[in-house]
A and B are shown apart, each in its own frame.
Chain A
């Protein structure tokens, strides 16, 4: 046990040194975080899964990450953030309208690039709000010109659509035109809607499960 004090002193040195390495690595990394930025603007104080939520009998699979009917809790949180909720049937209807009238409804995919490429609502614009510099210049003019902007992410516990919508609103998109689709891709796929894969406008679609 005589080695322990030395080990503790060594541990302090290692922790400080490794933390400094971490800071430098993060600064040099192309995907590094910006330390001063608030990535979760107006975030609710409580983590979402800590809320007492009722699992949907149709969708719960026994795991905490199973799709959950967050209904009222999500609506309440979105209203507190000044955002409007849109349900699956309305989104499907708007999607049908959007096919005939260009720019009437714009769909914004708030997931990361890999998730977007693996499948998104046809014609949706990628907008990873954690890296706005890559997407905002292209997305913002489209949103400003649209009558309705529908923001979605994966659904379930995903909150990225809410943060993306807040960022769009703060960038000038009228709140009256902004809608969050909490069901997200999970709900969209469950409704049997088409899913485009690859980049936006690729024209390639995922085969529907039989």
Chain B
């Protein structure tokens, strides 16, 4: 019995799921980023609460650029441009955000003696006042979706999945054009 068609069909479904995950992450970053970008003063105040950036210039730069950076990355993910690089940037940002939010939640816990998961505050994440445990879980889920894009061997429904050519694979040349009617790129052969 030939299992290749079954495997190919399963792969195709996984690829569709990966693309869906990419669009979900893109939508989340567009929504959250635009919410902050359209109200930069509110975001500036929230960034200041963390007490990490003392210099007014750095504080302003962060509050001014970060929301638009999220919007730009969300747009790139949505269109399928530089997918792995963009997903890596977003995953790294989520990691840093989560650490900061966690640290701030610990400070609030010390000040208020509340249970950790009962702490809620506006973390500047773009979703208003939230329960901190829920926010950390959301961040972990979003980071997971982004890392999936980084590690998934095939990218489908992309305009230009890579803008930096990868190191050549065993075959001697890396695919720089999308396989399968120009909408997908397959790096599985270079993973072996």
**Chain A residues packing against B (C-beta within 8 Å):** 1-15, 17-19, 21-23, 25-26, 29, 31-40, 43, 45-53, 55, 62-65, 112, 130-131
Contact = CB atoms under 8 A, between A and B. Distances in A.
Given A11-B89, A50-B107, A38 B56 contact: yes
A52 B73 contact: no
B68 interface: yes
Interface in B15-51: 37-42, 44, 48-51
B96 to A, nearest CB: 12
B63 interface: yes
Contacts of A34: 60
Given A14-B82, A47-B51, A112-B41, A3 B60 contact: no
Interface of B: 37-42, 44, 48-51, 54, 56-57, 59-61, 63-69, 71-73, 76, 82, 84-89, 92, 107-108, 110-112, 114, 118-122, 129, 150, 162-167, 169, 187, 190-191
A65 B120 contact: yes
B65 A19 contact: yes
A39 B114 CA distance: 31
Contacts of A7: 84-85, 87-88, 150
Given A10-B162, A64-B114, A22 B66 contact: yes
Contacts, number: 164
B44 A22 contact: no
B130 to A, nearest CB: 10
B56 A39 contact: yes
B166 A49 contact: no
A21 to B, nearest CB: 5
B119 A63 contact: yes
Given A3-B191, A10-B163, A47-B48, A22 B85 contact: no
B120 A10 contact: no
A11 B41 contact: no
A31 B82 contact: no
Contacts of A39: 41, 44, 56, 59-60
Given A15-B69, A22-B68, A31-B41, A65 B129 contact: yes
Contact of A23 (B49, B65, B110): B65
B57 A36 contact: yes
Contacts of B129: 63, 65
A23 B72 CA distance: 12
Contacts of A63: 114, 118-121, 129
Given A26-B40, A39-B56, A6 B164 contact: yes
A10 B88 contact: yes
B175 to A, nearest CB: 11
A177 to B, nearest CB: 27
A33 B60 contact: yes
A35 to B, nearest CB: 5
